[in-house]
Amino acid sequence: MMDNKPTTRFINIIMTGLFILIAITFITIAGSFYAVEQNAIRSGQEQLMQTLNYVTNNLRLVIENRSLSLQQFSEELAFKDLPEDPLAAAEKEGIIAAYLGSHEDQTNLLIQLDAEGIFSAAWVTEGGTTQILAEETALTYLQADPSFGSLFDGDPLLQNSSEYFLDNQSFVNLYTPIVAANGQVTGYLVAPLNLENMFKAEIFSDTSAYSGYPLVKNADMEVVIHPVESQVGLDIISDRQKQFPDLDLSDLRRLEEAQLTQAEGTLSYYSYWWDEENPTKVLKLGAFKWIDIGAAHWVIALNSDFYEHNRVPIQNNYILLSLLLLISAIVLIFVLLIRGYNKKNQAYEESQRFIEKQKFENERHQLEKRILKENKLESIGLLTTTIVHDMNNFLTPILGNAQLLMEEYAENDELVSELKEIYHAAEKGKELSTNVLRFSKVSEGQQDKSNDLSQVLKDTLSEITILTPKGITLENMITPDLSVEGFDKQDLQVVLYNLMTNAFQAIGNNPGKVKIRLEKALPPYNTELQKRSVVTREKQYAVLSITDDGPGIAEGLENENLFDPFFTTKGSKGSGLGLFVVSSIADKYDWQIKLDRAQKGLTVSVSIPLLPKE
């Protein structure tokens, strides 16, 4: 590597210093922004908690006030029910109308029960007019009340029920007994309190331009009170996900988890304003607190938009400062880069020339390797042919003499039996040598113009099936009448024998299954095979596949390596010629081989061109 000139070193030092300065500036600005944001979050959460305490106390006081109002009305009603008072009936109607009219938007309905909890009467006020309410309508408010049974179980009377929902509105029932002058309970009054109307009228009537609001949820995380009435009764996660399936509610799940596991707390989270037609994600500050009012167990929550309340001037100053520093640094770096452009460009061109030279050397090296491999295979083929030819010369007299000896000593059964073993061994050797010649040169055997591949495969399987080890099951599914271009039937036997032998060896001594399937190639795969060349673009293919449930091919082992001669993964137990032999025969007929790795096992597919239809 060449030494840098002094000018270049100076430029490098200046540029390094500038980069360090820019990095320090960005880190400082980022740290300041983070500190400002955290302080703003803490300050906002403290304010929210103070406001939340006010909202919580106010909510409790309003419900208690409505309960006291009902108790006072109950006392007046008990007095007017005295039989000796002739004006009691008329005055009773006036008292009821006055009570219902005092908060018509919140408690405009009153139900009277006797001491046994049996319905007595009900009244409703609408538009300033009080009238009798049908029993069937009144009972819907009692049947929906989850706490109604507590009136008669002997426990102290609750101030109010837990929440329930009717017609997309939330209610609690206020309870009070009707006590006669002698102290005996003669009945009960139940007044449904509309929580949404009460909350808007007495607690939350926000007219500010800022986003944010209080809301109330029950222990099941269902919305009890919300400024957006369509949200009442919804689960804050599942129901909103149904309404807006594309929204990210992951932070709402975090909020829900915090509220279900803590009595009170504050946090920041990303959510949406649900009064928008297309809600957008915003960063919210939230505070929450659990309270019990009568039988109701609620979490009161208050939230606000973080950025609306915390746009502090210091953030703008930091942004301006960072922009100024960044522009200055860019200008200075640009000037320095112009000065060194020519030298760097010269170095770049030199580097490109070196890369091209290296690429050329790599390609030449690969070409030399390929030529060496082809020469090696050619030498192996020549050597194989010579050895096989000599072996046939040795085996021919052995076969002839053995046959003559068997005929001459036909009466000696023991000798004939041993001579047969010699004859069969020599015959197997000659058959093996004939098969080996098939890989080193074009077979001289008889080749038909066409073959019924289905029938040839069936015949071959009937001969090879006897080689199947115990514990291994063979399954085959052969599509009939698949005529293919001509081939030597013995070649298919060799292909099938080697592939099945590999499958048996992969399964080993374990129980297993080998599946042989022959069928027409599916259209997508057939199209892929046709794209190989102009010659194959009109052909249709049959696919012969052998599948085993052995361990499959090890990770990191390339498919191409498996077809190299003498390459084996079986150590001393393998010759490394099985798939090489299969590949050689496939190349002779232009068949295509494909290995499909699976989670367990291996499928070897051989694609064979079908005979064109006339």
Would the CA dihedral through 552, 558, 563, 569 be positive or negative? Answer: negative
User: Which is more confidently placed, 245 or 12?
Assistant: 245
Which residues are within 8 A (CB) of 438 and not within 5 positions of it... i.e. 6 or more apart?
Answer: 445, 488, 490, 491, 494, 585
Q: pLDDT-based confidence at 179, cuts 50/70/90?
A: confident
Over residues 412-426, mean pLDDT: 79
CA–CA gap between residue 448 and residue 105 (Å, rounded): 98
Task: Tell me the range of 2-11, 425-434, 548-557 where mean pLDDT is highest.
Answer: 548-557
Per-residue confidence band for 381, with pLDDT thresholds at 50, 70 and 90: low
Q: What is the pLDDT of residue 172?
A: 94
As a whole number, mean pLDDT of residues 404-431 equals 78
Question: Predicted confidence band at 88 (pLDDT cuts at 50, 70, 90)?
Answer: low
Contact 181/85 with Cβ under 8 angstroms? no
pLDDT band for position 442 (50/70/90)?
very low
286-340: pLDDT as tens digits: 889 999 998 899 999 988 877 766 555 445 555 656 666 676 667 567 656 666 6
Which pLDDT value is given to residue 566?
A: 63
Better pLDDT: 373 or 456: 456
pLDDT at 211 over 80: no
Q: How far apart are CA 21 and CA 341, in angstroms?
A: 23
The structure tokens 């029910």 sit at 81
What pLDDT, on a 0 to 100 scale, did the predictor assign at position 1? 41
Stronger pLDDT, 109 or 416, i.e. the higher one? 109
Q: How confident is the model at residue 171 (pLDDT cuts 50, 70, 90)?
A: very high
What is the predicted pLDDT for the residue at 5? Answer: 46
CA distance 568 to 532: 29
Give the total residue count for the chain.
614
What is the reported pLDDT for 591?
Answer: 87
DSSP lists the bridge partners of residue 271 as 282
pLDDT at position 82 is 47
Task: Give yes or no for residue 27 having a pLDDT over 90.
Answer: no
pLDDT value of residue 257? 92
pLDDT, average across residues 114-121: 87
What confidence score (pLDDT) does residue 30 get? 63
For 41, the 3-state DSSP assignment is: helix
Which one of 333-342, 403-412, 422-431 scores highest in mean pLDDT?
Answer: 403-412
SS (H, E, C) 89-158: HHHHHHHHHHHHHHCCCCCCEEEEEECCCCEEEEEEEECCEEEECCHHHHHHHHHCCCCHHHHHCCCCCC
In the block, tokens 């949200």 appear at 231
For 264, the 3-state DSSP assignment is strand
Q: Measuring CA to CA, which residue among 559, 554, 561, 591 is closest to residue 576?
A: 561
Q: Which two tokens stand for residue 577?
A: 């010629």
At 158 the pLDDT is 85
- Alpha-carbon span 341 to 338, nearest angstrom: 5
402 has a pLDDT exceeding 60: yes
pLDDT of residue 493: 78
How far apart CA 358 and CA 354 sit, in angstroms, is: 6
pLDDT digits (tens, 9 = 90+) for 343-369: 676 777 777 888 888 887 777 777 776
Residue 314, beta-bridge partner list: none
**φ, ψ dihedrals at 365, nearest 5°:** -65, -40
Stretch among 175-184, 473-482, 574-583 having the lowest mean pLDDT: 574-583
pLDDT in tens, 362-372: 777 777 766 66
Contact 478, 518 (CB under 8 A): yes
pLDDT in tens, 452-484: 888 888 887 877 776 678 888 888 888 888 888
pLDDT bucket at 572, cuts 50 / 70 / 90: low
The pLDDT assigned to 166 comes to 92
pTM of the model: 0.48
How far apart CA 380 and CA 376 sit, in angstroms, is 6
Return the pLDDT at 222: 92
Q: Which residues contact 506 (CB under 8 A, 6 or more apart)?
A: 548, 550, 551, 552, 601, 602
**pLDDT for position 288:** 92
Sort strands 512-520 and 472-478 into parallel, antiparallel or unpaired. Answer: parallel
Question: Mean per-residue pLDDT for 93-105?
Answer: 82
* Spatial CB neighbours of 144, under 8 Å, sequence gap ≥ 6: 164, 165, 166, 171
Q: How far apart are CA 106 and CA 191, in angstroms?
A: 10
Amino acid at site 135: E
Please report which confidence band the pLDDT of residue 216 belongs to, taking 50, 70 and 90 as the band edges: very high
CA atoms in the 13 A half-sphere facing the CB of 187: 15
Query: Judging by beta carbons within 10 Å of its beta carbon (0-12, 13-18, 19+), is residue 73 exposed, middle or buried?
Result: buried
Whether the CB-CB separation of 540 and 521 falls below 8 Å is answered with yes
Position 521 scores a pLDDT of 84
Residue bearing tokens 């301006």? 320
Using pLDDT thresholds of 50, 70 and 90, give the confidence band for residue 205: low
Give Cα separations from 586 to 84, 428, 494, 608 (angstroms). Answer: 116, 24, 11, 9
Q: Which of 352, 339, 335, 429 is closest to 391 using CA atoms?
A: 429
Residue 44 has pLDDT above 80, yes or no: no
